[in-house]
Amino acid sequence: MTRQALIKTSTKTVPARPRLGFLGVGWIGRHRMRAILGTEAVDVAAIADPSPEMAAEAGKLAPGATLVSTLDDILDLGVDGVVIATPSAMHAEQSIHALERGTAVFCQKPLGRNVAEVKAVVDAARRADRLLCVDLSYRFTQGMRRIREIVASGELGHIYAVDLVFHNAYGPDKPWFYDPVLSGGGCVMDLGVHLVDLALWVLDNPGIGSVSGKLFAAGKPLQDSAAQVEDYAVATVELDTGAVVQLACSWKLQAGCDAVISATFYGTQGGVSLRNVSGSFYDFTAEQYRGTSRETLTTPPDEWGGRAAADWASRLAAGERFDPAADELVTVARVLDRIYGR
């Protein structure tokens, strides 16, 4: 049960709709707000953003919300949950602060810049007994949901190889992404986090064996990770199951299209793959492989981008508290740290 008041009806006592605050309402923050409002399970009580223009735009989506200046201003209004879409360096501290005030958190990825920060947030959520989720949105594509079901069914036999790719022909447009102190890393932190999460989520979180990685910046091996972030990376993760996961991710790759995104799982009895369509960041098709034949599992359109946020809001409205699955966030962060060699 969240901290919201109870409303007495003629037949039963039911929890009031959770009241949410939004910290950071740029494009992503406003997109997630629309998805959350679409659940009709919560109310937006407060909005904070350093840009008055962005705050005003978000206010159009939630006219009843109070426009405030800081996270503490949001929390002082007694909200039940906060949605955090700020630069990465702020995620852990802001999440912990909200959780210690007894407020559930939905945060953009990465939750922290290293495993120590991520673990500190998860521990805070556990102590506060509050629902913590991160916007690992690719889990919520129709294709990945279907792939996970097929893998779990055992139909593919023993999964022994996973190939993961996320190449972005552009790269972020905010300067802080390129500062390792503020970002925690480059394309691995930005894109590789999704790839590692998908592999472990689909395979039901197996133990991690060895991890190795190679990082590049401007076409050369990265020399000083304290002064520069990587824009291309390859990594190999060996799992306790005997499977090997290989991943590649990049910013500003000369790839001939906007993006190359795929997640492929090979088993002794078949394979499954999610691939983006025509270089799109948003459109995906999923297929199942049997020898030289293939079967289409899902095709566009699929409005998946806000589903993780909507799922968190719906679970909060249902009264859910700390979910031990948050420990998976720590495992992903530990793998990323090992790819970085730290």
> pLDDT tens track of the chain, all 342 residues?
344 444 333 333 345 899 999 999 999 999 999 999 999 999 999 999 999 999 999 999 999 999 999 999 999 999 999 999 999 999 999 999 999 999 999 999 999 999 999 999 999 999 999 999 999 999 999 999 999 999 999 999 999 999 999 999 999 999 999 999 999 999 999 999 999 999 999 999 999 999 999 999 999 999 998 899 999 999 999 999 999 999 999 999 999 999 999 999 999 999 999 999 999 999 999 999 999 999 999 999 999 999 999 999 999 999 999 999 999 999 999 999 999 999
Tokens 């199942």, located at residue: 288
C-beta of residue 310 within 8 angstroms of C-beta of residue 36: yes
C-beta of residue 238 within 8 angstroms of C-beta of residue 244: yes
- pTM, two decimals, is 0.94
C-beta of residue 157 within 8 angstroms of C-beta of residue 269: yes
Q: Please, which residues bridge with residue 259 across strands?
A: 168
> How many Å apart are CA 303 and CA 306, to the nearest integer?
8
Distances (CA, A) of 103 to 11, 91, 185, 206, 309: 29, 15, 28, 31, 16
> How many Å apart are CA 219 and CA 268, to the nearest integer?
36
Note the pLDDT of residue 15: 53
Strands 284-290 and 244-251, bridge-based pairing: unpaired
Note the pLDDT of residue 97: 98
